[in-house]
Amino acid sequence: MGLGAVARLLFNRGMRRVVYAVIEFASLAIVAAAMWRGVQIWNGEPPDRRAMRAHMIGRLSDEQIRQLYERAKLNVEERQRLDERSKKEQAEKFDDECRKAGDIAYKMRHPEACKMGIRATKIYDPPSVDQEFEYLLMMGCLEFATTVRAAKNLNCLPP
């Protein structure tokens, strides 16, 4: 069987559609692979967090670092005050609802009363002063600098 016979066999009417479909699929797969590789090259490697932190600390004076740490302390204290106020409001609401629900007449007319669950639960662990300081120091770098190129553009790494 020669090459001409194979070509005639492959390109007869029935096989022509199959061959074209295989060629189309293969070309699409090659284009997709090339695009994926291009995206990988374009995105680059992720930045080194320690290097970014060292660069950010190096940009600040001693006084600016102290001010940033004081701001972190104030933020944590404010968050704790808001947390305590929220817990107090929740406890008051819980106590008021359950006091009313203790009355049998109220309970019969309002069966949904006093179903608030455990009162004054802790939803999350608030950040420490050091964690807040790190967040303030690295604020834009951690969220937006996903590649070395982006970190350099955002001035999170030296050029």
Report the C-alpha gap between 97 and 115 in whole angstroms: 9
Report the C-alpha gap between 56 and 119 in whole angstroms: 42
Q: How confident is the model at residue 111 (pLDDT cuts 50, 70, 90)?
A: low
Residues 6+ apart with CB under 8 A from 80: 126
Interval 112-116 mean pLDDT: 61
Interval 35-43 mean pLDDT: 64
Interval 85-112 mean pLDDT: 71
Phi-psi region of 47 (alpha: psi -120 to 50; beta: other; left: phi over 0): beta
Q: How confident is the model at residue 78 (pLDDT cuts 50, 70, 90)?
A: very high
pTM (2 d.p.): 0.56
Report the C-alpha gap between 99 and 95 in whole angstroms: 6
62 pLDDT more than 90: yes
- C-alpha distances out from residue 134 to 38, 76, 80, 131, 152, Å: 34, 13, 18, 5, 19
Sign of CA dihedral 62, 68, 74, 76: negative
Mean pLDDT of the chain: 77
